[in-house]
Amino acid sequence: MNTAPRLAAFAGALALLAAGGFVVGKTAGPVATASTEDTAHGGGHAEMPAVTRLPGGLASSQDGYTFADPVAEAGRFTFRITGPDGGPVTAFDVEHEKKLHLIVVRRDTSGFQHVHPEPAPDGTWSVPLTLPAAGSYRAFADFAPTGGKPMTLGVDLAVSGDYRPATFAPGRVANVDGYRVDLAGDLTAGKTSPLTLTVSRDGVPVTDLQPYLGAYGHLVALRGGDLAYLHVHPDGEPVPGPAVHFAAEVPSAGTYRLFLDFRHDGVVRTAEFTVATGH
């Protein structure tokens, strides 16, 4: 996976049409028919320059590779990655202990999940997946095909029902399962931004974080509005807490949702933050 990929500017809007059930869309824009009228969770951005390449996760196809045949039913999600020849890709590089990382989040940035599907010999990936709340979701497949460049592709999922979008106030402190995680550092558009996340429990610094996928923390950033995707891994010498350091690069002004996965006492937890870029 890219350690600090550049998020180019892009704004997207999503329209879900009425028709039944739990369905999947394959492009960066509209999804297939859905049984509720959901729209993308909006977010304002500064005026952005034209770009020649989409940021990670905003398209379902890139360089001949496609996030293909997504099916979500009975609590399981299956899909394939097809290659330039149109056939399923079965050879992937191992990145951070896995051949493919799947991130799923609702368009309002609630319900974040980081899971790891298993591949079948025919190139079909499968993973248990529950999306309990109605609304539109984005699924990101983060992988590196053997012989190709690392990339992130995305498809849309939709769950029928009464959609109630969540909102998130700016915040640099996250509390999860008795842990407190503090975020220090500012996101600055167009520059590498040092970030430090410090983990404590019951007021005591946690100094024995456990490796998770080969690191003491994984940080995902999603830009508000279009969910442009950035996955960052720790910067500098690995230290098991309490502080985990990252270097993130975001080229556009706006508000970002940050998700830190960390492991302690054998359990992986996710701390969430809402941060606007500086000026």
pLDDT class of 110 with cuts at 50, 70, 90: very high
The 3-state secondary structure of 1-68 reads CCCCCCCCCCCCCCECCECCCCEEECCCCCCCCECCCCECCCCCCCCCCCCCCCCCCCCCEECCEEEE
pLDDT in tens, 12-26: 333 333 333 333 443
Work out the percent of the chain whose per-residue pLDDT is above 70: 80
Question: Average pLDDT in the 182-205 region?
Answer: 94
pLDDT class of 212 with cuts at 50, 70, 90: very high
User: How much is the pLDDT for 279?
Assistant: 55
CATH no. of 173-276 = 2.60.40.1930
Higher pLDDT pick, 27 / 245: 245
- Helix ranges (DSSP H) in the chain: none
106, 137 contact by CB (below 8 A): yes
User: How much is the pLDDT for 53?
Assistant: 57
pLDDT in tens, 219-233: 999 999 999 999 888
User: How much is the pLDDT for 252?
Assistant: 87
| Sequence ranges of the chain with CATH classification 2.60.40.1930 | 173-276
Judged against a pLDDT cut of 90, whether residue 30 lies above it is answered with: no
Judged against a pLDDT cut of 50, whether residue 192 lies above it is answered with: yes
pLDDT class of 27 with cuts at 50, 70, 90: very low
pLDDT class of 43 with cuts at 50, 70, 90: very low
Q: Which CATH class is domain 23-159?
A: mainly beta
What the block records as the tokens of 101 is 């990382």
Q: To the nearest whole number, what is the mean pLDDT of the chain?
A: 83
pLDDT class of 132 with cuts at 50, 70, 90: confident
239, 254 contact by CB (below 8 A): no
d(CA 80, CA 155): 12
User: How much is the pLDDT for 19?
Assistant: 35
Rg (CA), the chain: 18
11, 226 contact by CB (below 8 A): yes
pLDDT in tens, 55-83: 789 999 999 999 999 999 989 999 999 99
Higher pLDDT pick, 237 / 207: 207
Question: Average pLDDT in the 230-241 region?
Answer: 87
d(CA 58, CA 257): 16
| Sequence ranges of the chain with CATH classification 2.60.40.1220 | 23-159
d(CA 184, CA 94): 31
User: How much is the pLDDT for 54?
Assistant: 66
